[in-house]
Amino acid sequence: MTVQPWLLLSSRPLDRFESAHVPLAASAFHGYASAWPVPAPDDRHDASGRPRTRLHVGGDNLIEVQGDQLTVTTSSRNTCALYWSADHQGNFVLSTDLLIAASAWMSLTDCQLGVREQAGVHLDDRSSIHGIGRLLHSSRLEVVLQGNQVRVGRDAMQDTLALQSDRYGDALFAGQTQIRALQESIAGHLQRPGKVAALVSGGVDSGLVAALLAAQCPDFEAFSIGTPWGNEFDDAQQLADALGRPLNRVELDPQSILLALPQTIRAFGHPQPQAVEIGVAITAFCRQLEEGRTIFTGYGSDLINSGMATGDGLAEDIRSSIAVEVDKTRYSSELTGIAAQACGSELVHPYWDLPVLRSALDTCPSVKTTRGREKGHLRLAAEQWLPAEVAWRKKTAIHHGNGLGTALSQLIDVTTHQSASAPALYRQILATQLDQAVRAPLAPLCAEEVLDRALHSLAHCR
């Protein structure tokens, strides 16, 4: 059973959300939440002892509510999206969930909202739903309630991830520096209670995380995901054997993958096909996993260490491709943990933690292609932790390793009896979820019903 976590703040009470109401200390704003952590005691008063509420979102986005003022500060990573809208009639909503934001806005204003025709990843402040914006990374939003009016101020802040340097110019030292940052990141995440797991493919990224994890948590569980169309079980087994851990092979069946689409699309806030194909496997995995685990992955390493480059035709200076890929990820929500949280687990991407990011962005680009290989500096340093064959194994994209790169689109075409129908189905799933959120925002809608309704709607659009 999944419970979608979300947080909602509004300038006015929302009767349809009343059963999800949460108190905000001495505030004119109204709060609502589902499966969202309550503020810690030290987040309920400011330095002068005055009541306030501080809400942490996605690790380093911050919402502060005090009296008639609300302030949002988004981080340079912007892992967890924040959606909002405001008008000149005193209406304002802010939510971690696009569908909840849209439903609340329609409740306040009676506006009719719909999914954009081009509902993919927008590298600006648009969301996939007309009338709802997405807060940009590295920004500050200030909202003040003044009677029946809302005063909104927006400011850009320094984007620390836009800065790259040549600080680390020795390949081995650069790789070792990043590994030390990874060790500290992993140690911090291990403070959470519960079982610990790692998703491994047998490549250097997830392999290094697993090896560092084994040094701090020897009884962690190793999992590898496959599908009827492909897997990396043999490579993952070699890694697990080297670390002295059993490997849990999880083969996802086609139906479980299809049923994971609604939750993936909702968590991302958009139906962009490539992002969905990458994210749906881990969502399907989390849906069938026992609750209460912290799951470590190797996601994000390609973004910060190679700019998604492969061993063929490496550019001499890959800084521009790294900048592009890092920037895109801050809009795509691909590294959000919301879908895993809905299944009762925490998803951890150590390569996307700020100290690890910083070490990668401060590495001279020439050492990132040591020995003519992408992530050469990291591979070189990883030899101290992994078998050389694993450290230097050829890169395989996750959705290619598990076969979903082309097979999912083919499966959807067979299911819909239409050609090239995956993008249309993804968009229709989001539209179906929006319709449900408008009708009954707090009512659960099972994945089977969402998928069936989306398929039915798509069939009638032919």
Beta carbons of 401 and 231 less than 8 angstroms apart: yes
Are 108 and 206 contained in the same domain? Answer: no
Cα distance between residue 343 and residue 266, in whole Å = 13
Are 302 and 238 contained in the same domain? Answer: yes
pTM of the model: 0.94
Domain-embedded: residue 418: no
Are 104 and 186 contained in the same domain? Answer: no
Are 344 and 238 contained in the same domain? Answer: yes
3-state secondary structure of 296: strand
β-strand pairing of 293-296 with 195-199: parallel
From residue 446, alpha-carbon distances to 39, 276, 336 in Å are 29, 19, 21
Question: What are the pLDDT tens digits along the chain (462 aa)?
Answer: 457 899 999 999 999 999 999 988 889 999 999 988 776 655 677 777 788 898 888 878 999 999 999 999 999 999 999 999 999 999 999 999 999 999 999 999 999 999 999 988 999 999 999 999 999 999 999 999 998 899 999 999 999 999 999 999 999 999 999 999 999 999 999 999 899 999 999 999 999 999 999 999 999 999 999 999 999 999 999 999 999 999 999 999 999 999 999 999 999 999 999 999 999 999 999 999 999 999 999 999 999 998 776 655 555 568 888 999 999 999 999 999 999 999 999 999 999 999 999 999 999 998 999 998 999 999 999 999 999 999 999 876 665 556 787 899 999 999 999 999 999 999 999 999 999 999 999 988 789 999 999 999 898 876
Which pLDDT belongs to residue 83?
98
Domain-embedded: residue 461: no
Beta carbons of 224 and 199 less than 8 angstroms apart: yes
Cα distance between residue 40 and residue 27, in whole Å = 17
Q: Which of 287, 247, 244, 242 is nearest to 266 (CA)?
A: 287
Cα distance between residue 383 and residue 390, in whole Å = 9
Cα-Cα-Cα-Cα dihedral sign, residues 56, 123, 368, 387: positive
Q: Which of 45, 78, 86 is nearest to 62 (CA)?
A: 78
Are 180 and 148 contained in the same domain? Answer: no
Cα distance between residue 81 and residue 95, in whole Å = 9
Cβ-based neighbour number of residue 235 at 10 Å:
20
Q: How far apart are the first and last CA of the chain?
A: 34
Residue that is last in its domain, among 397, 415, 440: 397
CATH number at residue 70: 3.60.20.10
- Mention every residue, 6+ apart, whose C-beta is less than 8 A from residue 225: 199, 231, 250, 251, 252, 281, 282, 285, 402
Residue that is last in its domain, among 397, 432, 449: 397
Q: Residue 434 has which token pair? A: 């929006």
3-state secondary structure of 326: helix
Q: Which residue has the tokens 């990883």?
A: 382
- Mention every residue, 6+ apart, whose C-beta is less than 8 A from residue 236: 200, 201, 202, 222, 224, 247, 249
Domain-embedded: residue 266: no
Are 141 and 51 contained in the same domain? Answer: yes
Domain-embedded: residue 262: no
Are 365 and 217 contained in the same domain? Answer: yes
CATH number at residue 368: 3.40.50.620
Are 122 and 188 contained in the same domain? Answer: no
Are 61 and 203 contained in the same domain? Answer: no
Domain-embedded: residue 328: yes
Cβ-based neighbour number of residue 232 at 10 Å:
23
Domain-embedded: residue 343: yes
Cα distance between residue 332 and residue 325, in whole Å = 10
Beta carbons of 377 and 204 less than 8 angstroms apart: no
For 147-205, list the strands marked E by DSSP.
149-156, 195-199
Cα distance between residue 6 and residue 339, in whole Å = 11
Beta carbons of 265 and 432 less than 8 angstroms apart: no
Q: Which of 416, 451, 458, 421 is nearest to 436 (CA)?
A: 451
Are 100 and 195 contained in the same domain? Answer: no
Domain-embedded: residue 200: yes
Quote the domain boundaries for residue 80.
4-154
Domain-embedded: residue 304: yes
Q: Residue 311 has which token pair? A: 């061993």
* Total count of domains within the chain: 2
Measured in whole angstroms, how far is the alpha carbon of residue 70 from the centre of its chain?
25
Residue that is last in its domain, among 355, 380, 397: 397
Which pLDDT belongs to residue 296?
98
Q: Residue 132 has which token pair? A: 């709802």
Bridge partner list, 443: none
Cα distance between residue 200 and residue 233, in whole Å = 9
Are 97 and 197 contained in the same domain? Answer: no
Are 141 and 200 contained in the same domain? Answer: no
